[in-house]
Homo-oligomer: A and B are copies of this chain.
């Protein structure tokens, strides 16, 4: 016990990151090829942390660890590994070890494990399962990808809605095959349609004669089996659900989703949004160089296209620049400020769309607001840059031109920052995915056009 608390404390100090005390003995054991020492070193380490370790070491070390760890390799480690590492680990595992590891897992974890694998690897794992488990996994796989049906577990406890507490307790205690983890009992009508749910805590706290229908939770909601997992996660977060029954198209109970699964999805959706906003489709530090190049190249290619469009705008004003080279020095400032202001607006708008806080009822007010913010910020930096223009280049006219261009571009940035994601969302394109490119194209083009165009009129 005292020992347990000590390891806890070490974990806390550097806040759960893998520390030297954990990693060092593992590496020593690997160097010595000492499988007993390895098993001992990994004994106190959580499977999620072992997975992190496997992700962080290089490929040789990883494969050596998998081989030396042998039969101790746990199914949970596989579940925790990210996709690109998972495939290589599965290949490296002895078929028997793999089969044992997979058989330990709950069927919903198996589904999560194999849905991203290639078919040959899927087959190996399916073959390792008991027949009933295999059937359950295959049925889950029959639901659309990223749907509630893939996420739910089949193990659940349901009771007729007219039962009382005593009846339910006697029933539960008489049954040995209750799921390991459950927090609610789902009430169903005679046609197996969920009508409410009761927490185990309330069941414990209520007299035996209490009708179950009297102690149901307020926050009850059912989830359609085909619902997108992102919406499932949103519902859990918005309505503070702990678990929710999943129903088929006839509203019959087919499974249950619990908050821990919803939390994982919420985390993944956020991760996806962040990476998409940054123009990285998918990606982790463990992907191979070739995978990363393939993932990032298309986004850079799109960016090249928009940069060339901006260059074409500049090319329109080659004569102006030739007559007044200071313009070439200052023009990136206007574009850069517009790009930044646009990114600010679009990020807030993309998040508001994701959290369903930007709807038809407030979109016009939001657009007016962003335009106002852009105008005010533009005015502030117009004054600053006007002064910079005058001091640096001694030209009040140049100061006035950059000031005017700044106001125009920051207002346009605010407008584009909201309009682009809203319009993309209307056309069912993920605004996180594509907004950035559109908005910076707009701010580059408007920025260069306004600055160089005004300069052409005023200065020549």
Contacts and interface: CB of A to CB of B under 8 A. Distances in A.
Interface stretch (A88-96, A115-123, A130-138, A346-354): A346-354
Given A16-B234, A271-B351, A296 B362 contact: no
Interface in A278-335: 278-280, 283-286, 289, 292-293, 296-297, 299-301, 303-304, 306-308, 310-311, 314-315, 318, 321-322, 325-333, 335
Given A238-B16, A292-B373, A341-B296, A384 B304 contact: yes
A221 interface: yes
Interface string A333-345: 1011100110110
A183 B204 contact: no
A53 to B, nearest CB: 8
Contact of A56 (B322, B331, B359): B359
A228 B15 CA distance: 9
B297 A380 contact: yes
A311 B340 contact: no
B277 A274 contact: yes
B180 A356 contact: no
A237 B259 contact: no
Given A1-B195, A361-B57, A178 B204 contact: yes
Interface stretch (A35-43, A65-73, A262-270): A262-270
Contacts of A12: 224, 227, 231
Copies of the polypeptide in the assembly: 2
B333 A307 contact: yes
B348 A284 contact: yes
A189 interface: yes
Contacts of A336: 303, 306-307, 310, 444
Contacts of A48: 238-240
A372 B252 CA distance: 54
A23 interface: yes
B300 A347 contact: no
A199 interface: yes
Contact of A182 (B180, B201, B231, B333): B201
Nearest to A322: B325
A41 B112 CA distance: 41
A260 interface: yes
B356 A16 contact: yes
Q: Chain A interface mostly helix, strand, loop or mixed? A: helix
Given A205-B172, A299-B340, A347 B275 contact: yes
Given A204-B178, A224-B12, A369-B285, A303 B337 contact: yes
A158 B4 CA distance: 19
A204 B199 contact: no
B361 A18 contact: yes
A293 B332 contact: no
A55 to B, nearest CB: 6
Nearest to A11: B221
A271 to B, nearest CB: 7
11 contacts: A178-B205, A236-B263, A237-B264, A266-B266, A278-B346, A279-B343, A280-B347, A289-B376, A296-B341, A304-B385, A325-B328
Interface of A: 1, 4-5, 8, 11-12, 15-18, 23, 46, 48-49, 52, 55-58, 169, 172-173, 175-176, 178-183, 189, 193, 195, 199-202, 204-205, 219, 221-222, 224, 227-228, 231, 234-240, 242, 251, 259-260, 262-264, 266-267, 270-271, 273-275, 277-280, 283-286, 289, 292-293, 296-297, 299-301, 303-304, 306-308, 310-311, 314-315, 318, 321-322, 325-333, 335-337, 340-341, 343-344, 346-349, 351-352, 356-359, 361-362, 365-366, 369, 372-373, 376-377, 380-381, 384-385, 388, 444
For the complex of A and B, 6 pairs with smallest distance between CB atoms: A278-B347, A200-B200, A270-B270, A328-B328, A178-B205, A17-B356
Given A16-B235, A16-B356, A267-B270, 19 more contacts: A5-B222, A12-B224, A12-B231, A15-B231, A15-B234, A16-B231, A172-B205, A173-B204, A178-B201, A180-B202, A181-B201, A183-B199, A275-B351, A278-B346, A289-B372, A293-B376, A296-B373, A304-B385, A306-B336
